[in-house]
Amino acid sequence: MIDQSTNLKTELLSILEEAPYYYLKSPSIVRKITKNGRIFYSKYHLLEESVNQQIKKDYLNGKISIATPLGDNEIFIRYFNSENRQRFLYIFRKILRDFKIKREIFFIDEMDVINILISFEQEEKALNKILEIISKNLEKVLEKEWKILPDKSLPKDYNIFIFPDQKLFSNQ
Digit-coded pLDDT (tens) for 118-170: 777 666 566 777 778 878 878 887 777 778 888 888 898 888 988 876 544 44
Closest CA to 64 of 20, 113, 13, 115: 13
Q: Calculate the alpha carbon distances from 37 to 31, 153, 159 in Å.
A: 16, 11, 18
pLDDT of residue 17: 79
- What backbone phi and psi angles, to 5 degrees, belong to 126? -65, -35
Q: Model confidence over 68-123: pLDDT tens digits?
A: 888 777 788 887 766 777 888 888 778 777 776 656 666 656 567 777 787 776 66
CATH number of 74-149: 3.90.920.20
Question: Checking phi first, is residue 38 left (phi over 0); if not, alpha (psi -120 to 50) or beta?
Answer: beta
Query: Which residues of the chain form CATH 3.90.920.20?
Result: 74-149
Do the Cβ atoms of 88 and 96 come closer than 8 Å?
Answer: no
> pLDDT (tens digit, 9 = 90+) per residue, 11-61?
777 777 778 899 999 999 999 999 999 999 999 999 999 888 898 888 888
Nearest 5°: phi and psi at 33? -120, 135
